[in-house]
Structure 1
Amino acid sequence: MKSQASTLLAEVRTFRQNHPDVRYVDLIALDIPGHFYGKRYPIEMLEKVAAGSPLKLPQNAVLLGVQGGLFKIGDYCFHDGDPDANRRLVPGTLKPVRWESQPLGQMLITSDGTEAPIEFEPREVLAKVLERLHHKGIHPVVAFELEFYLFDKKLDNGLPQFARDPLSDDTDDQPNLHIERLSRFSEVLDDMAQTAKDQGIDITVITAELGPGQFEINFGHLDDGLRAADWAALFCRSTRGVALKHGYRASFMAKPYLQFPGSGMHVHVSLYDGAGNNVLAAHQQQPLRHAVAGCLELLPHCMPIFSPNHNAFRRLGGTVNAATRACWGFEDRDACVRIPDSDPRNLRIEHRLASADANPYLVLAAILVGLEHGLEAGREPIAPLNEDRSSGTDFPVEMLDAVRAMQHQPVLRDKLGAEFIDVYCENKRQDHLAFQQEINAREYRWFL
């Protein structure tokens, strides 16, 4: 503990020396729906926290719904006195914020690694999965890919407007992978990439996607799963901020347009043993097949994580590269679980089902549990799409069905934690019911 405090203190003092104009730092963590919550601390107080002073925030901040409201979940929120819970600073995450009008810093905080971690905090859920895998001698290497849309900053009666082409001031209509779109939006994209790098995120490939104003940005591979998920979370925050600075809105909403492709979160995962050997590639890739089988078996029970809201279910099916069944395939982007072409050293799965607005900590935790379960069970998967285009098993496509499928699944309750499963399912159920409590114009048009 003394060593960690010394490291954190050195990090804060170095930051103050390099950024003397920064007076405040946002201490932030991701809640269940994938939004950041936290507090803005004076830089002097942050130095005291780094030196060992307590850092406490309400435990139930993790339970907030999509709109920030509190739901009755067991005894939480309304019958527990709304207690504080300890948090700690995440080393290496104190970075400058470039998109605000005033100089500012930000730093991740978490309950994992404290004396009493919050069982349903997303980062803690992932931390426990990774710790268990490490004890088994399995070391994941992870890379995220995130798709998002750019919109005009102003909404039209609450509806998004296409991003305007900076050169022609017209709707962005460049086709998929058109390099010209990257050039025309280079000012904002370059700023997004540089700002992400300022946060310590390894940005690699930038792609113009199929939808108007839609892009994908890939991150480098990491042998630290927590940090990989940190990158995905922080990238969403910085990208939205940079877009506003340039007169746009950036959104990771899963399906903003019915007629255009949705935005996904693709996660590449490979597994290595303590000697650095690729576990999936051993024995003529038999462990790969077992891992795929485990992923597909649990996938229908993880849908509230992969599609965390009503809109995310709209993304499934109906457009290219969005599966409607739990399936897999080699070099096949229609599959939920794709096996990219690679040499044995880099053999990996690409999990393609999650929406871009899903919680990256929970998405990775669910994927790893699927891989772990598959390696333990040792079963053969169903036929890949390369052999049978109709291969696949059904999964829920509505939230309440998905919650029912998740809540009592024994493997998930064991490996993700029963308390987390119960809290998460009730959070999703309440969010879904709250979403239904509004009559829109179409309903009057149909039924009045």
Structure 2
Amino acid sequence: MPVPDVAAAAATAESRSEPSPALSGTASAAALAGDEFAAHVAAHGVPDIVEVLLPDTHGVLRGKWIPGAAGGKIWSDGVAIPLSIFGLDVWGREVEETGIHIETGDRDGICRPVPGTLKPVPWAPRPSAQVMLTMYEPDERGGELPWELDPRHKLARQVERLAARGLHPCVAFELEFYLMKPAPGPGGLPEPVFPASPHGPARQNMYSMSDLDAYAGLLHEVRQAAAVQGLPADTVISEAAPGQYEVNLYHRTDAMAAADDAILLRRLIDGVARQHGLRASFMAKPFLEFAGSGMHVHVSLADGAGGNAFGAGEEGEALLRHAAAGLLATMAPTAVLYVPSYNGFRRLVPGSYAPTGISWGYDNRSVAVRVPNGPAKARRLEHRIAGADAHPHLVLAAILAGMLEGIENAMEPPAPLSGNAYEAEAPLLTYDMGEAVHDFAASDFVARAFGAEYQRVYAVMKEAERAAFERRISTLEYETYL
């Protein structure tokens, strides 16, 4: 990750704040927002379609294709999508136990465009545009309120809480992924794409330039598409396993925009990979013998003057310790937000550079919360737990809420770990999704940070997901007992 000069970034970062709920749907707000579509048409022409994208509870993109000729209505009228879209499981099926489907009449919400996310789609076969949405619920007085189950609003709440203390998060995401061959047919599985090696079978080849060269065309197209869409893609790395890569996003002083970037970068990488006849997999642990794919999040806090509050001498170091302590104290109940999939818990294994303990340390990649080396202006925390398949808005909301918990209560962390944290006596993260769901559902902290209704619905959905995997008989069982 590049050095986050908070003051410089604050001066140059584009503003993409959430529109005020009180203004959403009014004529003045629609007119101002409509200028964004008009500007896009002036620059790129009328698109064949506008893809409206609404990330669901799992970070899966739901939405519609809207004719480009009618694109202005997205801004003037909004887009009607059922509120219950946030009660779908990861496969897109209704989870009836949430109680938000047909028993409520399956009412529509009104989705509004997220300012700054209207972009061309370079990999589309026809001229297309895309824009992210966020959902509002119509109220009894004809206005709109943020829909409590939309993860974007959960992140907005934590940003507001920090702002009330005069602190503003500066955030960067790092995303790891594998390139895969598509499944050969119905019932088949994608196959790994391992760059050719003169050294025999595929093996770890960390930071390999030859592995970057092997897919240079695809990776350069990713960078070019990111430039077209205004995504702040930075370093590209050949990661710890063959066929695994990492794209880093440059830091943002707008936390909402940083999480949006991560959602859109995943879509971009897979879109470009499809053009090359491949798929990009953000599965947390696709191969047991190789490293899993993570989503590392770097966070610092800017003060009112734009300086890095963590770098402000002894006071800044104390603030950093409090924030780290809060992250450790809230790590168990929020683990299922960082590791939201049944497969994701396979990634948390010793020696894999994925953390297994509730630990922190300075310049130590075996801990869960790392303080990277660097000058005072770059002082930050790197949160290393989340899988690449996690929802960026929920991950960042949980991180900021945890940091706030530590700051508000002046919490102190245990001694930072040096050396191999896998061998240290630190509390362990659970390897069991059921236990993680239970910890989330029982947590007073989660109820305070996310709301009791969000806590209930999310836990119900993840328990249903866990149960679906438990009901499947594994291939190994057949191989062993038939």
TM-score (normalised: structure 2): 0.88
* CA distance, structure 1, for counterparts of residue 324 and residue 35 of structure 2: 44
User: Larger deviation: 5-14 or 290-299?
Assistant: 5-14
Map 1:103-118 → 2, pairs under 5 A: 103-111=127-135, 115-118=144-147
Match of 2:464 among 413, 430, 446: 430
- Shift in alpha-carbon separation, 1:172–1:47, aligned structure 2, 3 A: farther
The one-letter code sitting in structure 2 at the alignment partner of 1:186 is A
Q: Which secondary structure state, in structure 2, belongs to the residue aligned with residue 134 of structure 1?
A: helix
Q: Distance in 1 between matches of 2:351 and 2:191?
A: 21
| Structure 1 contact 254–311 (Cα < 8 Å) conserved | yes
Residue 74 of structure 1: how far off its partner (Å): 4.0
Shift of 1:376: 1.0
- For 1:171 and 1:135, the matched residues in 2 are separated by 55
Instruction: Please report the RMSD computed on the Cα atoms of aligned residues, expressed in angstroms.
Output: 2.1
Closer/same/farther in 2, CA of residues 164 and 380 from structure 1, 3 Å limit = closer
Aligned to 1:128: 157
Contact 1:90 1:107 in 2 (8 A): yes
Counterparts of 2:228 and 2:296 in 1: how far apart (Å)? 23
Question: Which shifted more, 5-14 or 258-267?
Answer: 5-14
Displacement after TM superposition at 1:210 (Å): 1.4
Q: More displaced, 303-312 or 413-422?
A: 413-422
List alignment gaps of at least 5 residues for structure 1: none
- Please name the residue that 1:53 is paired with: 77
Report how far residue 391 of structure 1 moved.
Answer: 4.2
Question: Matched residues in 2 for 1:309 and 1:12: separation?
Answer: 36
Partner of 1:225: 255
Distance 1:92 1:159, change over 3 A: same
1:136-147 → structure 2 map (5 Å cutoff) = 136-147=165-176
Q: Is the 8 A contact 1:336 1:353 kept in 2?
A: yes
SS at match of 2:305: coil
Q: AA paired with 2:70? A: M
Distance 2:80 2:441 in 1: 30
1:293 aligns with 2:293: no
Superimposed CA distance per residue, residues 319-358 of structure 1 (whole angstroms, 9 cap, x where no aligned partner): 4311111111100000110000122222100000000000
Please state if 1:34 is matched with 2:44.
no
Q: 1:83 to 1:320 in 2, by over 3 A?
A: same
Letter in 2 for 1:418: A
Q: Secondary structure at the match of 1:430?
A: helix
Task: Give the structure 2 partner of residue 10 of structure 1.
Answer: 35
How has the CA–CA distance of structure 1 residues 426 and 187 changed in structure 2, closer, same or farther, with 3 Å as cutoff? same
Instruction: Write out per-residue CA displacement over residues 129-183 of structure 1, whole angstroms, 9 at most, x where no aligned residue.
Output: 1112112211000000000001123448733323154899x98667110112112
Which letter maps to 1:37? R
Corresponding residue for residue 217 of structure 2: 187
Q: Could you tell me which residue of structure 2 aligns to residue 365 of structure 1?
A: 397
CA shift digits 1:375-427 (9 cap, x unpaired)? 11112211211178414222222111001111121122111222111111111
**Residue correspondence of structure 1 range 62-211 to structure 2 within 5 A:** 62-111=86-135, 115-155=144-184, 158-163=188-193, 165=195, 175-211=205-241
Give the one of 387, 404, 416 matched to 1:355: 387
Give the partner amino acid of 2:176: E
SS in structure 2 of the partner of residue 116 of structure 1: strand
Q: 8 Å contact 1:112–1:123 — kept in the other structure? A: no
Q: Counterpart amino acid of 1:19?
A: H
Tell me what 1:386 maps to: 418
Residue in 1 that maps onto 2:18: none
Measure the CA separation in 2 of the matches of 1:315 and 1:195.
30
Question: What residue identity is the alignment partner of 1:372?
Answer: L
**Corresponding residue of 1:249:** 279
Output the CA distance in 1 between the equivalents of 2:202 and 2:478: 34
Provide the C-alpha distance between the structure 2 equivalents of 1:164 and 1:370, rounded to a whole number of angstroms: 38
The answer (yes or no) to whether the contact 1:382–1:392 under 8 Å persists in 2 is no
Offset at 1:6?
3.0
Residue pair 1:384, 1:391 contacting (<8 A) in 2 also:
no
CA distance in 1, matches of 2:174, 2:358: 20
Distance 2:260 2:126 in 1: 24
Structure 2: stretches of 5+ with no match in the other structure = 1-22, 138-142
Q: Give identity over the alignment, percent.
A: 38
User: 1:33-89 deviations in whole A, cap 9, x for unaligned?
Assistant: 110001111123221232x22432100112211111000234211311111011111
8 Å CA contact 2:110, 2:136 repeated in 1: no
For the 8 Å contact 2:78–2:113, the answer to whether it is kept is no
Q: How many residues align?
A: 446
1:341 equivalent in structure 2: 373
* Counterpart Cα distance in 2 of 1:315 and 1:145: 16
> 1:324 matched to which residue of 2?
356
Contact 2:298 2:380 in 1 (8 A): yes
2: CA distance between counterparts of 1:340 and 1:403?
Answer: 31
Which letter does structure 1 place at the counterpart of 2:130? Answer: Q
**How has the CA–CA distance of structure 1 residues 172 and 99 changed in structure 2, closer, same or farther, with 3 Å as cutoff?**
farther
**Equivalent residue of 1:87, what SS?**
strand
Counterparts of 1:320 and 1:439 in 2: how far apart (Å)? 27
Whole-angstrom CA distance in 2 between matches of 1:104 and 1:331: 44
**Structure 1 position 278, deviation (Å):** 2.4
* Partner secondary structure for residue 65 of structure 2: strand
Aligned-partner residue type, residue 353 of structure 1: I
- Please say which of residues 275-284 and 99-108 is displaced more in the overlay: 275-284
CA contact (8 A) 1:8 1:91 kept: yes
Q: CA 1:163/1:299 → structure 2, altered by over 3 Å: closer, same or farther?
A: same
Deviations 1:208-237 (A, max 9, x none): 011111001101110111100000000111
In 1, the alpha carbon distance for the partners of 2:158 and 2:253 equals 14
Paired letter, 2:37: V
Whole-Å separation in 2 of the counterparts to 1:440 and 1:410: 36
Q: Is the CA contact 1:172–1:213 (under 8 Å) kept in the aligned structure 2?
A: no
> Which of 283, 303, 312 is equivalent to 1:273?
303
Contact 1:175 1:210 in 2 (8 A): yes
Aligned twin of 1:237 = 267
With the length of structure 1 as denominator, give the TM-score of the two structures.
0.94
Task: Give the letter for the 1:89 counterpart.
Answer: P
Q: 2:10: which partner in 1?
A: none
